[in-house]
Copies of this chain bind each other. A is one copy, B any other.
Amino acid sequence: MKLNTKSRYAVMALADMSKFPLNDPISLRDISLRQSISLLYLEQIFLKLKKNDIVKSVRGTNGGYVLKRDPKSIKLSEIFQALDQKVKTVGCKKESKKGCNGKLAKCITHELWDELEVYINNFFENKSLNDLLINKNRIN
């Protein structure tokens, strides 16, 4: 089980932003330099964050992105969702009656994996952007 870079970078970038005065637009270029994330990749990521109302954009010189809400109210689960990222531990389609084996009942392990999915989603549900900043006295 691996976490992909897109989600990781998204959280990293947003965490970076929330260390600065809110309402001040922050350019992706700055984030890119500070966090060593490819600018072009960040653009892709932020487009999705914007579409999902997590940030808003300010165009033109001195433009950039601004957090749309208080970091306290931005849950990690929202960020993941914004990037179309899902925790998928079951092998079947949840909506379907069929199991991962193609048969008409769910397999022996279905319940287990479902439980795991809920368990992991819980983690994301209970973390806000703000929770990352408790250590305000860090350098990076």
Contact = CB atoms under 8 A, between A and B. Distances in A.
Interface of A: 1-5, 8, 11-12, 15-16, 35-37, 85-89, 91, 99-103, 105-109, 111-113, 116, 119-120, 123, 127, 131-132, 135, 138-140
Nearest to A112: B132
B1 A35 contact: no
Give the number of copies in the complex: 2
B132 A108 contact: yes
Contacts of A112: 11, 127, 131-132
Contacts of A2: 1, 88-89
Contacts of A99: 140
A123 B103 CA distance: 28
